[in-house]
Amino acid sequence: MARKRNDPVVATSEASLAHDGRGVIKHKERVYFVPGVLPSEQVEFTPFNKQRGSFAGRLEHVITSSEGRVTPPCEYFGVCGGCATQHLAPAAQLHFKAQLLQDNLQRIGHVQPQEWLEPLSGESFHYRRKARLGVKFVPKKGGVLVGFREKGTAYLTSLKTCLTLDQRISDLLPALHELVEGLSVHQRIPQIEVAAAHDDVALIIRHLEPLNDDDLPLLEAFGGVNQVQLMLQPAGPDSIHVVWPKPPASVPALHYLLPDFDLTMQFRPSDFIQVNAEMNRKVVSLAVEYLELRPDDRVLDLFCGLGNFSLPIARSGAQVLGVEGEISMTEQAGHNAKLNDISNAQFNAANLHLEGAEKGLPQSGYNKMLIDPPRSGAQLIVSEYIPILKPQRIVYVSCNPATLARDADILVNQQGYKLLTAGAVDMFPHTAHVESIAVFVGPLN
């Protein structure tokens, strides 16, 4: 009898994972991406029809498992979209990330570093100090859901605990459910942004309708009992305001520390900060080491945010210019420079993805550069600006190996830079996100 189209089949997966952590199975001349499948496993899986240009499948069971397979420690794993690789041992996750970086550099960038940096890793649980939690009122599922999106759907996984969120935020989740449930506008709250600083935790509750008079005491009680800073956001980012500590009481500034550089970095809860404090410290220290700084250096820090790399660089005595798209961030960077008694770092705001941006940047006089762009990379800077400035040493910190590889191709194969070192950094354990660092030296070296 002919097999029905979607019957489960037995197959063996490829030796490496897809970029998003799914297993890859070649079956009947098709390539299926199957969540939960690890490299070189014999599995039974149900192939799905083509969706959005590719074939996916559902793992039914593992027949012969990969050496790296472990029992996922989190009860929500497999449904919650927050993590992708908890079923892989931490060392194997690191290997996957290093492999992905190597593949991207070779396949997209046609480059190979002179030496590979050993992948950097740290504590793999409760590392996440910044997140946006989705909120939804679904009576059929028992009321208010707070958590991350489910994998591949618009639904939310309602979390009572989370192994990647900062422990203080994870511990707040049950109380957060209760708080939102009690608010008059619980059907009109789409998101809660959370930020865990060195001493304090802050929450920003986005609401689409005004609160009523009964809501404020609930919010104040939540802030007081849980000792968190509580903010409301009724409209755009400028509408964020504090409800606890109760105004006019002062709200301590959130901050994180970079002890290797004796720095205190203040930020607002909606500001970009690197999500993983421990790994951020390691990456900053490594980047500074790779810049081989001397006091007479002049260093440009592009996509500088609130000065996370600029101020550690400035501690060497080098002159630093940080450039970043958000004015509020360059102001915060300037504030952090003052706070830490640093006078050799300046900050400018500019859109570095805008055609012609290079004309507003210094045309000479900077011999070293740090680049830490968003996922889209720094193509314009690399192709239009670097040939003008010709920095002799570039440290590129990336959160997307594909755009790093594209930019490395331009630097190495078109402009004659050498790629000295590259390596993966496990900034986001249990997810497929790959942070990496790469060091380039100019044609004169």
Q: Give the residue numbers marked as catalytic.
A: 399
Name the 3-class secondary structure at 139: helix
Instruction: Give me the least distance between CB of 85 and ligand SAM, in Å please.
Output: 21
How near is the Cβ of 298 to ligand SAM at its closest, in Å?
18
149 forms part of the interface with ligand SAM (CB under 6 A): no
Q: How many CB atoms are closer than 10 A to CB 199?
A: 11
Only one of the segments 4-12, 200-208, 242-250, 318-326 lies at the binding site for ligand SAM (rule: CB under 6 A); that segment is: 318-326
Cis peptide before 429 (omega within 30 of 0): no
Q: List the one residue from 45, 309, 366, 428 that touches ligand SAM (CB under 6 A).
A: 309
- Number of separate helices (H) and strands (E) present in the chain: 9, 21
Strands 435-441 and 191-196: unpaired
> How many angstroms separate the CA atoms of 135 and 191, rounded?
5
Element (H, E) at 331: helix 327-339
Nearest residue (CB) to ligand SAM, 25 versus 432: 432
Q: How crowded is residue 68: how many other Cβ atoms within 10 Å of its Cβ?
A: 19
3-state SS assignment for residue 286: helix
- Position 379 contacts ligand SAM (CB under 6 A): no
> For the chain, how big is the Rg over CA atoms in Å?
24
Give the separation between CA 165 and CA 154, rounded to whole angstroms: 21
Closest CA to 131 of 88, 80, 71, 182: 80
Q: Give the binding-site size for ligand SAM (rule: CB under 6 A).
A: 19
Which two structure tokens, joined as six digits, stand for 293?
């700084």
Give the residue with the Cβ less far from ligand SAM, 11 or 277: 277
Q: Which of 308, 344, 367, 403 binds ligand SAM (CB under 6 A)?
A: 308
Q: For the CB of residue 149, give the shortest distance to ligand SAM in the complex, in Å.
A: 21
CB of 252 to ligand SAM, least distance (A): 21
Part in contact with ligand SAM (CB under 6 A); list of ranges 221-229, 321-329, 337-345, 388-396 = 321-329
297 binds ligand SAM (CB under 6 A): no
Q: How far is CA 274 from CA 131, 163, 217, 325, 402, in A?
A: 11, 18, 33, 17, 20
58 is a site residue for ligand SAM (CB under 6 A): no
Least separation in angstroms between CB 333 and ligand SAM: 9
Among 166, 297, 372, 435, binds ligand SAM (CB under 6 A): 372
Distance linking the first and last C-alpha atoms of the chain: 69
For ligand SAM, which stretch binds (CB under 6 A), given 2-10, 157-165, 369-377, 431-439? 369-377
User: What is the spatial distance between Cα 37 and Cα 22, in angstroms, rounded to a whole number?
Assistant: 6
Looking only at residues 65 through 104 of this chain, which bind ligand SAM when binding is defined by CB under 6 A? none
Q: Which of 66, 85, 274, 332 binds ligand SAM (CB under 6 A)?
A: 274
Distance set, CA 144 to CA 223, 249, 379 (Å): 19, 31, 43
122 binds ligand SAM (CB under 6 A): no
Shortest distance, position 352 Cβ to ligand SAM, whole Å: 4
Got the DSSP string for 142-164?
TEEEEEPBBTTSS-B---S--SS
- Would you give the binding string for ligand SAM spanning residues 387-406, x where CB under 6 A is met? ------------x-------
Exposure b/e, 407-443, CB count within 10 A at least 16 = b: bbbbbbeeeebebbbbbbbbbbbbbbbbbbbbbbbbe
Q: What angle do CA 291, 297, 298 make, to 5 degrees?
A: 100
Type of residue at 29: E
Our finding on whether 407 is near ligand SAM (CB under 6 A) is: no
The verdict on 333 binding ligand SAM (CB under 6 A) reads: no
The reply to whether 261 sits near ligand SAM by the rule CB under 6 A is no
Q: Could you say whether residue 264 binds ligand SAM (CB under 6 A)?
A: no
Using the rule CB under 6 A, is 195 a contact of ligand SAM?
Answer: no
Q: Does 305 bind ligand SAM (CB under 6 A)?
A: yes
436 binds ligand SAM (CB under 6 A): no
CB 436 within 8 A of CB 109: no
Q: By CB under 6 A, tell whether 182 contacts ligand SAM.
A: no
Closest CA to 274 of 159, 355, 182, 196: 196
Per CB under 6 A, 244 contacts ligand SAM: no
Shortest approach of ligand SAM to residue 356 CB, angstroms? 13
Smallest distance, Å, CB 286 to ligand SAM? 13
Q: How many residues does the chain have?
A: 445
Binding site for ligand SAM (CB under 6 A): 272-274, 303-305, 308-309, 324-326, 329, 351-353, 372-374, 399
